A and B are shown apart, each in its own frame.
Chain A
Amino acid sequence: EDKVVQSPLSLVVHEGDTVTLNCSYEVTNFRSLLWYKQEKKAPTFLFMLTSSGIEKKSGRLSSILDKKELFSILNITATQTGDSAVYLCAVEQYGQGNLIFGKGTKLSVKP
């Protein structure tokens, strides 16, 4: 059965801390792995990863994929209260192009 597992499920840190969110997967016909940030109604897209070992970076956020070990990490450095959100990981499959979501990591950043 295809699955995406995120850890931890929730995390509380203080401003300025660095956090690492994990996403592991067992999915057939892997095409890409996507990270989303969900604050309000709809998740917003962060990164799409297709190749192993190539870091994608956007400001204080970065992500990398390991297709051999079947996982990805999302790093957030110098966290701010505005980073508080649920972070979703999803794997896209070839063929049907289905998206399989993890259950998310709820990050709370305290001032």
Chain B
Amino acid sequence: SQTIHQWPATLVQPVGSPLSLECTVEGTSNPNLYWYRQAAGRGLQLLFYSVGIGQISSEVPQNLSASRPQDRQFILSSKKLLLSDSGFYLCAWNLQGPDTQYFGPGTRLTVL
């Protein structure tokens, strides 16, 4: 069966520091991968999605970037964090859009 992991679960970082959040999927091949940020207990904002290794589409221009160095690995990064980057970040996968996406456990990022 397929599983999705996110690391770390919680992170507290100072303003201006770098960021690296990791998402890995097991039990499937060539998944579509997604990074979301949850805003204020309501909507999910799609940040990046990827249909294959090295293929990244950015939905919202901002202080973050994403990379897909391996088929089942998706990384969200920043060179210098801002206070506004605080939030709950979710990774998701599916095999074909718009099929159901399966969400990881998320990472709670606090920037101080």
Cβ distance B68 to chain A, nearest Cβ, rounded Å: 16
Tier of interface size on chain B: 20 to 34
Tell me whether B74 is interfacial, beta carbon within 8 Å. Answer: no
CA distance A47 to B80 in the complex (A): 34
Q: Which of B100, B105, B106 contacts A38 (CB 8 A)?
A: B100
Stretch at the interface among A51-59, A66-74, A95-103: A95-103
Complex contact B44–A41 (CB within 8 A) = no
Q: Collect the chain A residues with CB atoms within 8 Å of residue B103's CB.
A: 90, 99, 101
Q: How far is the CB of B21 from chain A (nearest CB, A)?
A: 14
B100 near A98 with CB under 8 A, answer no
A48 B108 Cβ-Cβ under 8 A = no
Tell me the number of A-to-B contacts counted with CB atoms below 8 Å: 61
Do residues B44 and A43 form an inter-chain contact, with CB atoms below 8 A?
yes
Do residues B108 and A98 form an inter-chain contact, with CB atoms below 8 A? Answer: yes
Q: Using a CB-CB cutoff of 8 Å, which residues 61-101 of chain B contact chain A?
A: 88, 90, 97-101
Contact status of A41 and B102, CB under 8 A, knowing A97-B41, A98-B88: no
Question: Is the CB–CB distance between A38 and B42 below 8 Å?
Answer: no
> Which chain B positions have C-beta within 8 A of A39?
98
- A100 shortest CB reach to chain B, Å: 8
Residues of B in contact with A (beta carbons under 8 Å apart): 9-10, 34, 36, 38, 41-46, 49, 59, 88, 90, 97-103, 105-106, 108
20 A-B residue contacts at CB 8 Å? A31-B41, A34-B42, A39-B98, A41-B46, A42-B34, A42-B36, A42-B44, A42-B46, A43-B101, A45-B44, A85-B98, A88-B100, A96-B108, A97-B38, A97-B41, A97-B108, A98-B88, A99-B103, A100-B105, A101-B102
Not counting A101-B103, A103-B100, a sample of 8 additional A-B residue pairs whose C-beta atoms are within 8 angstroms of each other reads: A32-B41, A41-B98, A48-B41, A48-B42, A86-B100, A88-B100, A96-B10, A99-B88
